[in-house]
A and B are shown apart, each in its own frame.
Chain A
Amino acid sequence: KAGVTQTPRYLIKTRGQQVTLSCSPISGHRSVSWYQQTPGQGLQFLFEYFSETQRNKGNFPGRFSGRQFSNSRSEMNVSTLELGDSALYLCASSQSSGTYEQYFGPGTRLTVT
């Protein structure tokens, strides 16, 4: 099976712009989670989706949003970008919400200038 894919892999945006990141989970996986990784804060949970429903949301401002489509693909959007949003954004999928093992994609490296 193909692994989790994320597009784009690298992105440079300007402060105030908005960005959309995409994640395609492993075929058959219905749960998708997003994480932000920065040198200062480490890995922090953003959201979890299961069957197009957001199950959990981390402690991030409303500028961060996401959704999941019927084919389990997921997108996350960050509006009004700030310099502090520069990070590696990781997507992970699992077979169901009751499965513990998470399969991570390679990440999208977002740089905000």
Chain B
Amino acid sequence: SQQGEEDPQALSIQEGENATMNCSYKTSINNLQWYRQNSGRGLVHLILIRSNEREKHSGRLRVTLDTSKKSSSLLITASRAADTASYFCATPRGGGSQGNLIFGKGTKLSVKP
């Protein structure tokens, strides 16, 4: 079953604009991760936020986590055509295993030049 659910499913913006994607999850977590996937290829890890963190930055990426609402958001600032990809949130299933991730269905981002 899917833990994370991303919103929106698809997003189309112009280069230079900001893109915001949201993720909701169902159970308690110790961390939440965001990944990017280009055109059905492998996933690339973008950022990890731990349950005791509220906000984290990495370059043009900003992630927030609200554990009371079981939700996270990913903000990409000053977007570029190269940011066109699908973005997924993922949470560990738990039980001491971190290699067992539950992924959402993803947000497909299209950045037009």
User: Contact flags (1/0) for B25-62 with A, using CB distance below 8 Å?
Assistant: 00000010101000011111100100000000000000
- Indicate if the CB atoms of A42 and B97 lie closer than 8 Å: no
- Indicate if the CB atoms of A99 and B98 lie closer than 8 Å: yes
Shortest Cβ distance from B40 into A: residue: A88
What chain B residues lie within 8 Å of A98 (beta carbons)?
Answer: 98
A90 located at the interface, meaning its Cβ lies under 8 Å from any Cβ of chain B in the complex: yes
- Indicate if the CB atoms of B105 and A42 lie closer than 8 Å: yes
- Indicate if the CB atoms of A100 and B48 lie closer than 8 Å: yes
In-complex Cβ contact of B42 among A44, A58, A94, A104 (8 A): A104
Contacts A45-B93, A55-B97: A90 and B42 contacting too (C-beta < 8 A)?
Answer: yes
B12 located at the interface, meaning its Cβ lies under 8 Å from any Cβ of chain A in the complex: no
In-complex Cβ contact of B100 among A37, A45, A99 (8 A): A45
CA distance A56 to B100 in the complex (A): 7
CB of A91 to closest CB in B, whole Å: 9
B2 located at the interface, meaning its Cβ lies under 8 Å from any Cβ of chain A in the complex: yes
Contacts A43-B88, A45-B93: A102 and B99 contacting too (C-beta < 8 A)?
Answer: yes
Contacts A42-B106, A43-B103: A48 and B97 contacting too (C-beta < 8 A)?
Answer: yes
What chain B residues lie within 8 Å of A31 (beta carbons)?
Answer: 98-99
Contacts A100-B33, A100-B48, A101-B33: A48 and B100 contacting too (C-beta < 8 A)?
Answer: yes
CA distance A92 to B100 in the complex (A): 10
Interface residues of B (CB under 8 A from A): 2, 31, 33, 35, 40-45, 48, 88, 90, 92-93, 95-106
